[in-house]
Copies of this chain bind each other. A is one copy, B any other.
Amino acid sequence: MADNKYVYSFGRGKAEGHGKMKDILGGKGAGLAEMTNAGLPVPPGFTISTAACGIYYQNNRSLPKEFMDQIMAALAGLEAVTGKQLGSTAEPLLVSVRSGAKFSMPGMMDTILNLGLNDDTVETLRVKTGNPRFAYDCYRRFIQMFSDVVLGVPKHDFERIIDHIKETRKVKLDTELTADDMQEMIRRFKQFVQERAGKTFPQDAREQLRLAIFAVFESWHNPRAIKYRQMNEIPDNLGTAVNVQAMVFGNMGESSGSGVGFTRNPATGAREFYGEFLTNAQGEDVVAGTRTPFKLEELQKSMPAIYDQLKAISERLEKHYRDMQDYEFTIENGVLFMLQTRNGKRTGAAAIRIACEMVDEGLISTEEAVLKVEPQQLDQLLHPVFDAGNEFKVIAKGLPASPGAAVGRIAFSSEDAVKMAEGKEKVVLVRIETTPDDIHGMEVSQGILTARGGMTSHAAVVARGMGTPCVAGSADIKINEEALTVEFPGGLVLKEGDFISLDGSKGEVYQGALKTSNPDLRSGFFGRFMALADTIRTLKVRTNADIPRDAKVAREFGAEGIGLCRTEHMFFAPDRLPHMQAMILAQTVEPRQAALQKLLPMQREDFVGIFRVMDGLPVTIRTLDPPLHEFLPKREELMVEIALMKERREAAAKIREKETLLARVEELHELNPMLGHRGCRLGITYPEITRMQARAILEAACIVKKEGVNVLPEIMIPLVGKVAELENQRALVIDEAKQVFQEQGIEVPYMVGTMIEIPRAALTAGAIAGVAEFFSFGTNDLTQTTFGYSRDDAGRFIRAYLEQGILEKDPFQAIDRDGVGLLLKMAVEQGRATRPKLKVGICGEHGGEPSSVEFCHMIGLDYVSCSPYRVPIARLAAAQAVASGRAEKGTQQK
């Protein structure tokens, strides 16, 4: 193609462009060319390239003569093909003029229909259609649209004229207006344009076309288009193409019509010819719902030839595009035209069925099949959903923190939740925020709603782990824990025991008890599809699980090990908390060790349970991580309590006891606990804690090994920033291991590795890999420190940042590749430089988020680990990373 070619014609089965030319023709232009070349009956037209848009701006907002000559030549070609002429009163050509950039910018730029109408051609249209009202309606709409886009007279301002005519005629609906009314409207519209724009509405159709093309170029720089590009990171210099295409009309009478079709059923995925159709109607009438469309079967009766043609096209479209298509068509006087086709939206269930069956049919490869399902769509298949028939009254919104539908009675505390659940009630726990104290309340609840906290708040993380639906950070609800009420934005107040429903996939809260249905995995497509994905992925997928129940669920979902078992969650159980507190309150080593001795057998039992479930798979166990004050009563509550005890002159001894407790709580109090005395810092200052935990893990490993279980423990030290920290903790673990193996008379292979979760660890990963047998990225913490965002607090400004476009994505949801991601890359490279076979994984929340999984694959991680219900999503995302080939690009990038 010549370099100076700027206009590309299409029509009569042949196009000068093709589907891969999106850079030059824009998405729509490339699609029209592709369909034309495929032999589909597409109304003819031509596309003015995106390059012309750039030249339009460079050339002081007009086009050099050679460009206009090319356009006029293409127009002449179009006139020849259609046998009509723009502006002719004999055979007037009407065209649509539409924008079309490389990347879809839906609704951002302008469109003009019915261009070519003027005071003369409208009369021809009237005569040819025998429908004066239709002809005049087209013309008055064209005046409105053209004036709005080209002349800067807002569309809305014409509405007052319409209202005035309706008043005069004493009618209410547009449809009640007659052809005469329309003529009157046209007269007044033109007069209004004259007043407002200071010029006569252009009657010359070629002039109309020139102005419309320039207006589309201008729309590239309208404010909403600029904003949209900023938000979607679309470069400003791409420009838009302009598509000029002959109009076709489905509303020309009983042998005309419009419809939409699908190559397969978008709800079920079944392979069937499926769609809807309306006689004597334009496309928008089918969608608008004012008339009820027929099924396509009706078309078979009324226009059998057209039906057969359409069915054949439908099959060709799917073969051509190698995907289920959603297309629009129009029949003009018994002639079928295809207006658009695109990959059809579909439910999760349909997506996996279509993918599997297209592979069976030999239509697509496994790689293509894997890319046809959005990982998030799998969620629909794993959790209960609300039935479509419900009346959804949204009473509050929050973050979609853990997917699924939940219905239950409101409980405001974990104790009440437990009591209500014992009474066989279904419960939804409603809290300002949850803390580790709430675990038992959360366990018995159907769903969780919090007023504070982000996607990685305690409630969100634990709920996802349990597979319990959760809406978090619903900032506008007001919880009154004393009155046991919650007030919702519109003023609605619900009380304890009232029914409420949550959609954790959407982050919505509804009043009352909606109907739900359970996921249907019986069809078998789910298992088949996941097996397809597994054949191509290279990244392993593990799970984050703290208890055997969760581990079992995850294993059923395909987890290939545990990537993170948090030992501290075990300490919040009511039988353990007192010992944990005694351990913390101990001022010297002896009582601390006594308390730890009580915890040892309990921890050992936990690990025995998990090891049995994970027989043959690796289990990564993290030593104690959270700051100790999390296990003690809240400081401010104690302060209030003591102040009140004093005011009430209670017994001095009782007050002293509370004061002693407060004193220790004050000692442990930290202004920024996230950056405080936690992780390996605890294990270093209290080595007996690490020893106890190492012993519990390794004793459990010996016990199950004697039962014949294949146990692969990996002991993980959290929050390491200096290699000396890991050396210290590793030495304690190795020392305990020697003792345990001697006592048990058996040895178990085990590894000692570390979390990489603070920037310094990533920056000095080369040194740390000298001591660590594996790395696991704790991207929650790493994101907190790399950004300086507390995940507990940052929700407020992160939301503002997303709204203002300062952040494109919440970095706690998708790995920030430029910052956090750079640290991960550095750590992998430096770590493997020291220890080439270093095993590297990720156990932050990102391990279950598709774009993050892709990134993990790109930088060469061995595995991702995520909450049980995200395991299938991660498996698919890992397969897609291979299938999309972006992996290679990513690793080459460096």
Closest chain B residue to A670, Cβ basis = B793
Given contacts A672-B672, A763-B819, A781-B788, 9 further A-B contacts (CB under 8 A): A636-B639, A644-B647, A674-B790, A676-B790, A677-B796, A759-B785, A763-B818, A763-B823, A764-B819
How far is B786's CA from A757's CA once the two chains are assembled, in angstroms?
10
Q: Within the assembled complex, what's the spacing in Å between the Cα atoms of A672 and B648?
A: 34
CA distance A789 to B787 in the complex (A): 14
A380 vs B805: C-alpha distance in the bound complex, in angstroms? 53
* A758 contact set on B, CB distance < 8 A: 786-788
Min CB gap A686→B, angstroms: 10
Query: Which of A674, A785, A801 gathers most chain B CB within 10 Å?
Result: A785
Q: Which 10 A-B pairs have the closest CB atoms?
A: A675-B790, A672-B790, A760-B819, A758-B788, A670-B793, A636-B636, A676-B793, A671-B792, A759-B759, A724-B806
Interface residues of A in 635-651 (CB under 8 A from B): 635-636, 639-640, 643-644, 647-648
Minimum CB–CB distance for A253 against chain B, Å: 55
A714 and B639 alpha carbons, distance in the complex (Å): 45
Min C-beta distance of A47 to chain B, whole Å: 34
Q: Shortest CB–CB separation between residue A795 and chain B, in angstroms?
A: 10
Query: Chain A 202-225, CB within 8 Å of chain B: the 1/0 string?
Result: 000000000000000000000000
Given B684, B685, B721, B792, which contacts A788 in the complex, CB threshold below 8 Å? B721
- Known contacts: A644-B647, A804-B684. The answer to whether A784 contacts B823 by CB under 8 A is no
Write 22 A-B pairs (CB below 8 A) sorted by A numbering: A635-B636, A640-B643, A644-B644, A670-B790, A674-B790, A675-B785, A675-B788, A675-B790, A677-B793, A677-B794, A681-B797, A684-B797, A684-B800, A721-B787, A722-B807, A724-B806, A758-B786, A759-B823, A760-B787, A763-B819, A764-B822, A767-B818
What residues on B are CB-neighbors of A759 within 8 Å? 759, 785-786, 788, 819, 823
Bound-state CA distance A816–B759 (Å) is 13
Is A725 an interface residue, CB under 8 A from the partner? yes
Question: Does residue A673 face the partner (Cβ distance < 8 Å to B)?
Answer: yes
Per-residue CB contact flags for chain A residues 653-672 toward chain B (1 = under 8 Å, else 0) read 00000000000000000111
- Copies of this chain per assembly: 2
Q: Looking at the assembled complex, report how far the CB atom of A452 sits from the nearest CB atom of chain B, in whole angstroms.
A: 10
Most chain B beta-carbon neighbours within 10 Å: one of A671, A674, A788, A793: A788
Docked Cα-Cα span, A721 to B672, in Å, equals 20
- Residues on B with C-beta less than 8 A from A781 are 788
A800 to B677, CA, bound (A): 11
Contact with B along A677-700 (1 / 0, CB 8 A): 100010011000000000000000
Q: Report the Cα distance A265→B332, complex, angstroms.
A: 111
Chain B residues within 8 Å of A685, by CB? 796-797, 800
A760 to B785, CA, bound (A): 9
Taking the nearest CB of chain B, how far is it from the CB of A640, in angstroms? 5
B residues less than 8 Å from A719 (CB atoms): 788
Decide if A794 touches B675 in the complex (CB within 8 Å): yes
* A129 is an interface residue with CB less than 8 A from chain B: no
Known A639-B636, A759-B823, A800-B684; judge A675-B677 contact (CB<8 A). no
Which residues from chain B contact A728 at a C-beta distance below 8 Å?
804, 806
Are A786 and B788 in contact (CB-based, < 8 A)? no
| Contact status A790-B648, CB under 8 Å | no
Chain B residues within an 8 Å CB radius of A792: 670-672
Contact partner of A794 (CB less than 8 A), chosen from B644, B676, B789, B818, is: B676
Report A653 CB to chain B, min CB distance, Å: 19
Query: CB-defined interface of A8-23 with B at 8 Å, one 1/0 digit per residue?
Result: 0000000000000000
Encode contact with B along A262-292: 1 for CB under 8 Å, 0 otherwise. 0000000000000000000000000000000
Which residues of A740-774 are within 8 A (CB) of B? 757-760, 763-764, 767
Interface of A is mostly: helix
Residues of A511-558 whose CB lies within 8 A of B: none
Give chain B residues whose Cβ lies under 8 Å from the Cβ of A644: 643-644, 647
Bound-state Cα–Cα, A684 to B635, Å? 33
User: Chain B's nearest CB lies how many Å from the CB of A808?
Assistant: 9
Query: Of the candidates B648, B721, B764, B788, which one forms a contact with A760 in the assembled complex, judged by CB atoms under 8 Å apart?
Result: B788
| Cβ–Cβ contact B671 & A797, under 8 A | no
Please indicate the chain B residues that have their CB under 8 angstroms from the CB of A636 in the complex.
Answer: 635-636, 639-640
CB distance from A815 to the nearest CB of B (A): 12
Residue of B nearest to A795 (CB): B677
How many chain A residues have a CB neighbour from B under 8 Å? Answer: 57
Contacts of A648 in B (CB 8 A): 647
* Chain B hits for A671, CB < 8 A: 673-674, 790, 792-793
Whether A805 contacts B724 in the complex (CB less than 8 A), given A639-B640, A793-B671, comes out as yes
Q: Which of A757, A759, A805, A816 has the most CB of B within 10 A?
A: A759
Binding site for B on A (CB under 8 A): 635-636, 639-640, 643-644, 647-648, 670-677, 681, 684-685, 719, 721-722, 724-725, 728, 757-760, 763-764, 767, 781, 784-790, 792-794, 796-797, 800-801, 804-807, 816, 818-820, 822-823
Tell me the complex Cα distance, A676–B822, Å: 23
A249, chain B: closest CB distance, angstroms: 47
Contacts of A643 in B (CB 8 A): 640, 643-644
Q: Complex formed: what's the CA distance from A764 to B821 in Å?
A: 11
Q: A696 vs B652: C-alpha distance in the bound complex, in angstroms?
A: 55
Q: Are B793 and A672 in contact (CB under 8 A)?
A: yes
On whether the beta carbons of B639 and A822 are closer than 8 Å, the reply is no
CA distance in complex: A526, B282 (Å)? 92
| Closest B residue to A823 using CB positions | B763
Q: Which residue of B lies closest to A230 (CB)?
A: B724
- Cβ-closest chain B residue relative to A674: B672
Give the docked Cα–Cα distance between A671 and B636 (Å).
Answer: 13
Q: Name which of A672, A677, A763, A784 has the most chain B CB atoms within 10 A of its CB.
A: A672
Q: Which B residues are CB-close (under 8 A) to A793?
A: 670-673, 675-677
Contacts of A785 in B (CB 8 A): 675, 759, 785-786, 788
Nearest CB in chain B: distance from A235 CB, A: 15
A673 partner residues in chain B, CB cutoff 8 A: 671-672, 790, 793
Most chain B CB within 10 A, of A760, A787, A818, is at A760
Q: Nearest Cβ in chain B — how far from A891, in angstroms?
A: 19
Provide the residues of chain B in CB contact with A760, threshold 8 Å.
Answer: 786-788, 816, 819-820
Which of the residues B684, B764, B804, B822 comes within 8 Å of A818, measured between beta carbons? B764
> Which residues in B have their C-beta under 8 angstroms from that of A677?
793-794, 796-797
Query: Given the complex of chains A and B, what is the CA–CA distance between A772 and B111 in angstroms?
Result: 41
CB distance from A663 to the nearest CB of B (A): 9
Which residues of chain B are near A806, meaning CB under 8 Å?
A: 684, 722, 724-725, 728
Q: B residues within 8 A CB of A818?
A: 763-764, 767
Rounded to whole angstroms, the CA-CA distance of A505 and B788 in the bound complex is 33
- Chain B residues, CB < 8 A from A725: 806
Report the bound CA distance from A758 to B790 in whole Å: 13
Name the distance in Å between A224's Cβ and chain B's nearest Cβ. 19
The CA-CA distance from A424 to B172 in the complex, in Å, is: 88
A643–B787 CA distance with the chains assembled, in angstroms: 38
- The distance in angstroms between the C-alpha atoms of A643 and B818, with both chains bound, is 49
Residues of B within 8 A of A674 (CB): 671-672, 675, 788, 790
User: Closest CB of chain B to A829's CB: distance in Å?
Assistant: 14
Tell me the complex Cα distance, A807–B103, Å: 53
CA distance A816 to B767 in the complex (A): 15
CA separation between A724 and B793, bound complex, in Å? 21
Chain B residue with the shortest CB-CB distance to A724: B806
The minimal Cβ–Cβ distance linking A506 to chain B, given in whole angstroms, is 26
Give the Cβ gap from A343 to chain B, nearest Cβ, in Å: 32
Residues in B whose Cβ lies below 8 Å from that of A764 = 818-819, 822
Complex-state Cα separation, A764 to B671, whole angstroms:
29
What is the CB-to-nearest-CB distance from A644 to chain B, in angstroms, rounded to a whole number? Answer: 6
CA distance A787 to B792 in the complex (A): 19
Per the bound structure, the CA–CA distance linking A106 and B571 in Å amounts to 48
Residues of B within 8 A of A789 (CB): 675
Closest to A646 in B: B644
Q: Which residue of B lies closest to A760 (CB)?
A: B819
In the complex, what's the smallest C-beta–C-beta distance from A617 to chain B, in angstroms? 31
> In the complex the two chains form, what is the Cα distance from A804 to B729 in whole Å?
13
By beta carbon, the residue of chain B nearest A453 is B671
